Structure 1
């Protein structure tokens, strides 16, 4: 607890950066799991998926420690409630990654119709790559927020923060479009595949999409802090 309190004394965002590092590792490990999925290395896929679950648990523990250490007696340049609200959104990025990992553990992606297999895999991998980009941008955003505070809300630092937020929103929009395209393909070809496979694929895509949704939510929390 004392470690977090000391970090808060330096900056309200130092502990959030530590938490963001674990969140980023969880999303990066999920990307490795999906890469193994794409290559047909299903045992390796499951190993990475279980690692994502472990990292999400670790992120949760850090979140609770930060909450317990964030005393109302600490003087901070931003509202305690805003920090806790942001922390919750950042943690949900790891939750979303864990949800995808759980689906990877349910079954192997066998029997995808040959005529759509390449497009299905390409869309999943593109969404995965964009999701890790979103998580990296959230990490960059919270690091930049720390710089904003250290600069005394300097104009250039604030301007850069808004640029990062816009980048996150752009990535989220792109993934939404990919998810819509993915759903169109699955429903159009639903008669060719078993019900369970269709549900499995749709949930893989939806939970990946949720990573960028939560990244956007985290970015919006930063925007609110900037506007106060």
Structure 2
């Protein structure tokens, strides 16, 4: 008999564990943006390349985990959770890691860094998006408790609280994005036009991290709806 996939064995222990492990890796990928961005802003492109390779490697691991979940998620879970909803949750989680990889690839490929006048605002904005992904990870961690306690009202309220915090943080990133865009607009006439276009693109790509994190929260609400 061929050996059983150890990742698949996790479904026997907890149907939610593989999804949580995937989200852990997604957040790890996203958090790896911080040292990359710091290297990029310092103009240390040798270090930035090293850090970007770490992001790509982590995203690849997350992608493999996503495929494992899709392959091994039982067709019958014997609980009030839709298999299709869980698969959709994994897909949305994966989009967060993809966004982080896209940001690092774009900045490294063009050796982009934000002008000193707005560098502090840019880093604050990036970290806010990453914090939103971290909150999404915390919310996904609640799934085990929901299942173990039989979808109790108290646990469902805890999930709602975690999701509300995701929405709060996503709203904060929106405000920081508006502020950053406004400051970029005031100095863009002094910058190369093509560079300006890509700076706005980086801002938009970072926003996808918190946007997808918010979608994770929305999918969680659907998963635990009974």
| Matching residue of 1:108 | 111
**Where do 4+ consecutive residues of structure 1 move more than 4 Å?**
none
The answer to whether the Cα contact below 8 Å between 1:86 and 1:218 also exists between their aligned partners in 2 is: yes
| Matching residue of 1:65 | 68
TM-score of the pair, normalised by structure 2: 0.91
| Matching residue of 2:132 | 134
1:6 paired to 2:4: no
Gaps of 5+ in 2: none
Gaps of 5+ in 1: none
Map 1:24-103 → 2, pairs under 5 A? 24-103=27-106
* 2-structure distance, mates of 1:111, 1:38: 7
Judging changes above 3 Å, is the alpha-carbon distance between structure 1 residues 224 and 81 closer, same or farther for their aligned structure 2 residues?
same
| Matching residue of 1:180 | 178
The answer to whether the Cα contact below 8 Å between 1:9 and 1:74 also exists between their aligned partners in 2 is: no
* 2-structure distance, mates of 1:138, 1:91: 12
- Name the SS for the 1:56 alignment partner: helix
- Name the SS for the 1:189 alignment partner: helix
Judging changes above 3 Å, is the alpha-carbon distance between structure 1 residues 161 and 73 closer, same or farther for their aligned structure 2 residues?
closer
- Name the SS for the 1:71 alignment partner: coil
C-alpha deviations, 1:80-134, integer Å up to 9, x for none?
000001000001000110111111212233683xxxx23x211211122212211
Deviation at residue 178 of structure 1 after TM alignment: 1.3
TM-score of the pair, normalised by structure 1: 0.90
- Name the SS for the 1:27 alignment partner: helix
| Matching residue of 1:123 | 121
For this pair of structures, how many residues does the alignment match?
A: 223
The answer to whether the Cα contact below 8 Å between 1:45 and 1:104 also exists between their aligned partners in 2 is: no
